[in-house]
Structure 1
């Protein structure tokens, strides 16, 4: 089992840089295809929110300005993509079936962002999203949630700065849930070729289900030895303890189940492990629901 196709939705040059470097690194690592996707908002979807009491001419001007800004942003993103692929020597174009080499393409389409991303992600092995904290990109968080909740596929949260390596030291955040098991299945291609694997567990994080030792035993059937390490919350924050344990291990990739302990709305309002990791992770994080 390997990874052959990545999807990378991008919305702004400020947030795209580290995610693009991450995607190109993964494409080279797996000799896979990276599809960089920019989605421009459809002006017709914006019109109903333009506001009452505005003249038709003013609304038309607003929509024209929106389209112009979207086109300029797409041009900048395409130029960034072309420069980055040229620097690392990855061919640009459609993936060639049967060719064991990386490739990449860039497309810009018009539509409803969350819907398009979810649909495209369903036929991607892994969707990479820019870190929401880079350039305060709200669209990145929307893209991540679209993949998590409406694609049935895993998502990789890119770090805030381009990583030096990915998947040499893999940390598995384990709490016994179905979400964690789904993330484990998705990270196994990386686990099989990792130099070291550690399973991170905590009484404050655990739910009813298999324990860390059982996960290690399962991984051993794939020819990989993993150790189990316990972590504790920091200042009563489980996510902080989890990230500290991953950092202490020197992990350059972590997998975890997302929103497995509470509803998404509850975590967004009250906080939670997933939310803390989304806001504070400095390493690539693979997530599943």
Structure 2
């Protein structure tokens, strides 16, 4: 077993070295024409990976930013990355140059189960489909009028007000409120009760699956650092993500199918107990051909995963 791993390591280094030498010769002969920010000098093959050693990555990046500036270049193997380290630089990057930064690279995990093709998160901002989906979200779910009409917002504010003077896990409370806001607007049902317990087993399974997938997007993956090794899936992340996405889209597909069956049985009696929630809006848009059948579960995933991502960024994931 150890011999096999050692062979794989040497084979990877050999292929990486060949790739590096080939690219270097190409750059020397033709040039790239790119103007990159300053950064630490990279090593052959490894780039700046050794510069990122340490227990606290944010401390390491802060030290490098102090030496090279708030916008710096890092070579992660054969992949070039630009790191923005200060608030002012980030504000300029994501307001004045937001279109350029929107065309982000796609992690290999997001390619599993054709997820990157379903999700507007990974679509380029120049895509007409991205523009259509963004307009639907802005009009029907994230407009002030739509948010004000969702009872989950009022309930969240009420729960926090009731605990005035007491300790409260703000991240957990906001996460529960956010998921309830979205699920109430989408499905006319709460997925989280009081920010602490789940209402149904299927809701808990969906939430847990999304949490795992969102966390995995931030995990180091050799397929992202060395794209020419992507087909090998050396760490097995893509195979793992494929199973997770199959379960997630299976659960979302079940929700959609049940709503379609309910709407069909209700017929023309105008007896819509859901009050025309966002899922009804999506299904209506699908029936008119403005969005496709594949767009509906993709939109549902994007919004819920966005809530999970925000919860994780605020330290809400305490699994380890």
When normalised by structure 1's length, the TM-score is 0.24
Q: Work out which structure has the larger RCO, using CA pairs closer than 8 Å and 6 or more positions apart in sequence.
A: 1
Structure with higher Rg: it is 2
Structure with greater proportional strand content: 1
**Which protein is richer in helix relative to its size?**
2
**TM-score (normalizing by structure 2):** 0.23
